[in-house]
A and B are shown apart, each in its own frame.
Chain A
Amino acid sequence: MAMQQQTNEVTFETRGDVMVIYIQGDITAFSETKLNEAYRSATGQGAVRLLLKIAADAYINSGGIAVLIQILAQTSRNRQVIGITGVSEHFKKIFSMVGITKFATIYPSIEEALEKMAVSAA
């Protein structure tokens, strides 16, 4: 019934001014440690513009939404610009409902995100 505890696989890629953080796997409350580590690593490398790329088949439950909000709150405090891409229309709607879109812009693709984020102010 419940999701099995899993760890996400996270990789990084710097593309121009933006650090893309690729997140594989479902995003749940158990993702907290890994995603916070990834965020700290990206910030430690001086990243000001961050793009979270969520896997196409990833499921994000209420716990995962909480983890994302936690990270977005940190980016807000640290005056970073953050975008999210890879989410389905279903999750875009939920993100909008819970206010995630106030902290992060949801982009339809990595390419569009890179184009828009490169010119936006920090």
Chain B
Amino acid sequence: MNLSSCYLFKGLSDSHLGRLEAIASKQPVRQGQWLFHKDEPAEFLYILESGAVELLIEVHGSLELPVFTVESAAAELLAEVQEPVEIPTTMIRAGNGCVGVGALIEPYRYSLSARCVRDGTLSVIRRADIQRLIHQHPDLGCCVMTNLARKLLERLNETRREVQIHLMSLVRSASF
């Protein structure tokens, strides 16, 4: 198990990594397998040992994603969508990735859905176990949360950039 390659655990001492490895268990996964769905209780944190996991937003009946379309005909197409749509958000590949960080933050709910794109192996840590470890070792918790905050800021910056792109598309189409 090589938890040290996960961004969440960067900078942790060998002893802390050992404590995390002691509470992690390996889980093989298959392509197409769902790990969790949005809004489900976040009971597990998953670290990718191998394979790849896609994070996405499942939308049923209509699109929630703020994708702008410049033609009204295309908007009508969106309104007619009846089958579930999956909005791709992120692809997590082995070597640095983990999914399910909702297990670290209240209200402990997954904010996205996760599905395995390839067969692989995950290291799984139960929320209760890592919370207990963080309580026992605040310096471990501080390091993990700092790493998480950095990653969430990256994600926020990406989302802001996406909003900017959509906004500029709106502005340009309005001028025509």
Which residues in A have some Cβ–Cβ distance to B below 8 Å? 1-5, 26, 28-30, 32, 59-63, 65-67, 69-70, 73, 76-77, 90-91, 94, 97-99, 102
Contacts and interface: CB of A to CB of B under 8 A. Distances in A.
B154 A4 contact: yes
B78 A98 contact: yes
B162 A62 contact: yes
A40 B57 CA distance: 32
A66 B166 contact: yes
A20 B142 CA distance: 49
A98 B63 contact: yes
A5 B154 contact: yes
A102 B73 CA distance: 9
Interface of B: 54-55, 57, 63, 65, 67-71, 73-75, 77-78, 81, 85-92, 96-99, 101, 151-152, 154-155, 158-159, 161-162, 165-166, 168-169, 172-173, 176
A74 to B, nearest CB: 8
Q: Would you call the interface of chain B mostly helix, strand, loop, or mixed?
A: mixed
Chain A facing B: main interface SS: helix
Contact of A3 (B73, B90, B101, B168): B90
Contacts, number: 106
Contacts of A61: 88-91
Nearest to A96: B77
Contacts of A62: 57, 65, 67, 87-89, 162
A73 B169 contact: yes
Contacts of B55: 1
Contacts of A98: 63, 65, 67, 69, 74, 78
A1 B158 contact: no
A32 to B, nearest CB: 6
A73 B176 CA distance: 11
